[in-house]
Structure 1
Amino acid sequence: MEYIRITSIHDPLFVKMHELMKEVFPPEEVLEFELWKEPLEDSGIRVFAAVHEGDVVGATEYRYYPQWNIAMTDFTIIGRQGLSLGRFLARNRSKDLDELARQNGKELFGMFAEIYDPYGIEDHEFGGAKPMNPFVRREVLSHMGYKKLDFPYLHPSWKNDGEAVKGLDFCFMPAEEEITEIPSGLVINFLTEYYAVLSAKPQEWFGMIDQLKEKEKISLLPL
């Protein structure tokens, strides 16, 4: 199996990856094909496909932010079972991020991720891909060390229609397990930059940011 970076919408692997995304994610979580052009060409956005016998069987997108020494996992797709895809993607992503942090003269502080809360929303089948079941994914990410940030979370729809997307928790995986809270300013700055690309944001999102500004620290809770 190969871990191959995708940097163009014209890459045949991207066509396969985008089809896989549409199969497993809700429509509001999938950026339109043409809108991927600039993100893929952005050196700070890293999109990798797991390629097995010429097929894209999994993928992951993530980013490293040198100014904060943190990363964000945008998504991880396990499109086929029985290939140890989760471990393959996680290990290769970790190696890549560790190298980016090393080039920045640091050790990675941690990584953010949005994680579905299947206990609070209607179940989503993720295209019938059993490894993508939100109950399974939540437990796997908990095993990896992700913890829930202690505030009600929502994000602007990637359709850029001003709608609020709920049913997720905003989580953080600290590199050092004993860390139990992180500065609220880090969360505010990150979310503000991360969603800057979306011009249409719901008022609820701005309200969430305002509430975070009233806190100094945000606790990390078990998933």
Structure 2
Amino acid sequence: MQYHQITEINDKHFRAMHELMGRVFPPEEVLEYDLWAEPLQDPGIRVFVAVLDGEVVGATEYRYYEDLGVAMTDFTIIGRDAIGVGPFLAGQRMEDLRKVVAASGGTLQGMFAEIYNPYLSEKLEFGGVKAMNPFVRREVLAHLGYRKLDFDYVHPSWHNDGEAVHGLDLCFMPIADAKQADVPAELVSTFLERYYAVLPQKPQAWYTMVEGLKGRERVGLKAI
């Protein structure tokens, strides 16, 4: 299996990756094909696919915020069951991320990820791939060390239509201190404002959520 980085929309594997995203995720979670051109050229956004015998069987996107000392897993997609795509992507992603952090001279305190709440997303098919079932994914991410940030989470639709998307939790995997019980609320609000700056149309529920975080000192980490 190969870990192949995609840096332009004309990459021979990009269309297959985008089609895989469309099969796995609901429409509001998938950025339109042409709108990927600019993000793929951003060196801070790391997009990779797992390729087996010429076929894209998985994908992941992540980024590192040097000034915050945290990373974000934008998505992880497993396109085929029982061939080890999940462990391969997780291992390769962390290896690459640590190289990025070392090259910048920074630190890595932890990693954010949005995780579907299985009790709110049971109707989603996720492309029929069993490994993408939200109950399975939640258990896997829990084993990796992710924990749920203790607040009600909502995020803007990637259709940039101002709609609020529910059914997910924002989670955090502590890396510098795996036993930490909470994180600074300012870190969470700053990260969210930075991460979603690309979407000018955001729902009022999102702004209310961020303002609520700014009124707190810490956000607890709960088991998922």
TM-score, normalized by length of structure 2? Answer: 0.97
Question: Residues 98 and 107 of structure 1 are in contact (CA less than 8 Å); yes or no, is this contact kept in structure 2?
Answer: no
> Which residue in the other structure is 1:220 paired with?
221
> Which residue in the other structure is 2:194 paired with?
193
How far apart in 2 are the matches of 1:10 and 1:221? 41
The one-character-per-residue Cα deviations of 1:52-93 (angstroms, maximum 9, x if unpaired) are 000100000000111111100000000011211111000000
| Structure 1 residue runs without a partner (length 5+) | none
> Which residue in the other structure is 1:146 paired with?
146
Shift of 1:127: 1.2
Shift of 1:99: 1.2
Taking only the aligned residue pairs, the percentage that are identical comes to 60
User: 1:2 is matched by which residue type in structure 2?
Assistant: Q
How far apart in 1 are the matches of 2:143 and 2:39? 30
The one-character-per-residue Cα deviations of 1:77-128 (angstroms, maximum 9, x if unpaired) are 0001121111100000000111112223344210000000011344311011
How far apart in 1 are the matches of 2:137 and 2:113? 12
The one-character-per-residue Cα deviations of 1:141-199 (angstroms, maximum 9, x if unpaired) are 00100000000000000000000000000000001211111111111111001000101
User: 1:168 is matched by which residue type in structure 2?
Assistant: L
> Are 2:6 and 1:16 aligned?
no
How far apart in 2 are the matches of 1:106 and 1:31? 30
Alignment of 1:174-185 (within 5 A): 174-175=174-175, 176-185=177-186
Secondary structure of the 2:198 match is coil
Dislocated runs of 4+, deviation >6 Å: none
Question: Residues 5 and 48 of structure 2 are in contact (CA less than 8 Å); yes or no, is this contact kept in structure 1?
Answer: yes
> Which residue in the other structure is 1:53 paired with?
53
How far apart in 2 are the matches of 1:200 and 1:107? 32
> Which residue in the other structure is 2:206 paired with?
205
User: 1:103 is matched by which residue type in structure 2?
Assistant: A
Secondary structure of the 1:43 match is coil
How far apart in 2 are the matches of 1:10 and 1:98? 27
How far apart in 2 are the matches of 1:212 and 1:82? 40
Question: Residues 97 and 108 of structure 1 are in contact (CA less than 8 Å); yes or no, is this contact kept in structure 2?
Answer: no
How far apart in 1 are the matches of 2:143 and 2:86? 12
RMSD: 0.9
TM-score, normalized by length of structure 1? Answer: 0.98
User: 2:149 is matched by which residue type in structure 1?
Assistant: L
How far apart in 2 are the matches of 1:222 and 1:7? 35
> Which residue in the other structure is 1:44 paired with?
44
How many residues are paired up?
223
Secondary structure of the 2:47 match is strand
> Which residue in the other structure is 1:110 paired with?
110
How far apart in 1 are the matches of 2:28 and 2:73? 17
